[in-house]
A and B are shown apart, each in its own frame.
Chain A
Amino acid sequence: MRILLPGAIVGIVFGTLTFRYTSDAVLRALIGLLAVGFVLQRLLRRGQVHERQQPNVLKGTVCGALSGFASFIANAGGPPFLVYLVPQNLDKRVFAQTAILFFAVVNFVKILPYAWLGLFDAANLSTSLMLAPFAPVGFWLGREALARLDQVVFYRVVTFLVLLAGGNLLWSSRSLFIPA
């Protein structure tokens, strides 16, 4: 935690600058890359067994920074966080507590730069408010599903959707890569 968080702050600062100084097309491409990268990482790491790793300042800072950055631009800070923490084979409860605390701090810290960027305008906030009731619906559905549904199948379906959503964003920002 002490190793990951400073990195995350650096990542958030980079995220802020990216939001400030790049276009929507660049952001779409970045989010698309993150999404597609997430799916590829899932596919490649399947069934891989890790050697137990000790905490490492360099790896922790890099993963923390990537996590903060990905969290800032796409709420996708999870994967780099896992890359660092999973091989440490922490006790389940310690692991869960670290994850909850880390993302609580990261998400909280993000409020300030989002506000500074003018992202919390009336339109965005009222949209949030309108969509907010659906989050507990999802939470409830998830709890019900936990008892009844095959998690692996759901996981595959949503991972496929992530791939589609990411691919779609890359496609809509293709003009960045292929000059017209």
Chain B
Amino acid sequence: MHSALFYLAAIPAVVIMGMSKSGFGGSLGILAVPLLAAVISPAAAAAVLLPILI
């Protein structure tokens, strides 16, 4: 289970990623991994986000 801090970073990260896919904010999906890597291991951050990206 993850801490509250994790969700505090992860939920906005995924929301912004979704927003960038809608054409609003262009390539700002770049925020997601740096944000997540602050709270979990960087490799896990990339791995968690890839299935969502696809």
Chain A residues in contact with chain B, CB under 8 A? 19, 24, 27-28, 31-32, 34-35, 38, 72-76, 78-79, 82, 107-108, 110-111, 114, 117, 119-120, 123-125, 127-128, 131-132, 134-143, 145-146, 149, 151, 154-155, 158-159, 161-162, 165-166, 168-169, 172
The list of the 6 closest CB pairs from A to B, nearest first, reads A138-B18, A142-B22, A142-B19, A119-B47, A142-B24, A165-B34
For chain B, give the interface size range: 35 or more
- Collect the chain A residues with CB atoms within 8 Å of residue B18's CB: 134-142
**Chain A interface main SS type:** helix
- Collect the chain A residues with CB atoms within 8 Å of residue B24's CB: 142-143, 145-146, 149, 151, 154
**Chain B interface main SS type:** helix
Considering only CB atoms, which chain A residue lies closest to B22 in the complex? A142
Residue of A132, A139, A151, A169 with most chain B CB atoms under a 10 A cut-off: A139
Considering only CB atoms, which chain B residue lies closest to A27 in the complex? B42
Contact check, A142 vs B33: say whether CB atoms are below 8 A apart.
no
Considering only CB atoms, which chain A residue lies closest to B2 in the complex? A127
